[in-house]
Structure 1
Amino acid sequence: MSENIIKSKSFSFALRVVKLYQFLNQDKKEYVLSKQLLRSGTSIGAMVRESEQAESRLDFIHKLAIAQKEANESDYWLELLYQSDYLNVTQFQSLKSDIIEINKILASIIITTKQKIGKK
């Protein structure tokens, strides 16, 4: 059985977000923005996991669309953390690259699934 790329990438991203949250709290004494990122960044993988047990293809699309919204929100919080000097350019670019990739994969899965529904 092949690896579920979105499942592994969203989990890895969530883990990075948890570690970033710990760093921002302990080293930078930042609590508000990092908490927002923690919520949205970990929700992506949770919704991907939930989509595995979707009741229908429409439910599957809906759950992945929520994951995509959470990814977009995470992108916003990352940008805000960077622009407010809580993240350096290296940290930001690495996380930004991950979230762009996750968004592209989610969009592709949603589009493909919608096309499959339309063929029936």
Structure 2
Amino acid sequence: MNYNANISIQERTEDFAIRVIKAYSELNKRPFDDAGKILSKQFLRSGTSIGANCSEAKYAQSNKDFINKYSIALKEANETLYWIKIMIKSELVSKSKFQNLIEENERIIKILTTSINKLKEK
């Protein structure tokens, strides 16, 4: 996916979740031991949770609630990056196959961090 500055964070995280689901499906085609299965499921859970929290933020009841949803999404994005790194370091996946996901995940983290900081300034 190419970086597109005009896409909303909700759309970006939804697209990211779809990519995570596809990557997880590919991972599940491989024979993994229990550790590989658990790591890939953690990756799936956190990677799809980012968008779910951003989606919930659209209907936040207050500015504080909105910040809270984005903060949870940020934590999930950070966790997703962690699981990707662990899968790479444990040689379950190659870095080259996950490089684009890493880059998009880092963009999402930057966007969420900037958004949270701006909202806190208000």
Normalising by structure 1, report the TM-score: 0.89
Q: 1:79 aligns with which of 75, 79, 85?
A: 85
The reply to whether residue 12 of structure 1 matches residue 15 of structure 2 is yes
* Structure 2 CA distance for aligned equivalents of residues 41 and 95 of structure 1: 10
Task: Name the CA distance, whole Å, in 2 between partners of 1:12 and 1:101.
Answer: 13
Q: Distance in 1 between matches of 2:8 and 2:30?
A: 32
* Residue among 8, 21, 24 paired with 2:24: 21
Which of 82, 104, 108 is the equivalent residue of 2:114?
108
Q: Which among 55, 58, 73 is matched to residue 49 of structure 1? A: 55
Q: Percent identity?
A: 43
Give the Cα–Cα distance (whole angstroms) in 2 for the partners of residues 28 and 93 of structure 1. 22
Q: Please give the residue correspondences for 1:22-41 in structure 2 after superposition, counting only pairs within 5 Å.
A: 22-29=25-32, 30-41=36-47
Q: Which runs of 5+ in 2 are unaligned?
A: 1-5
Give 3-state SS (helix, strand or coil) of 2:28's partner. helix
Gapped runs of 5+ residues in structure 1? none
Whether the 8 Å CA contact 1:44–1:68 is kept in 2: the answer is yes
CA RMSD of aligned residues (A): 1.2
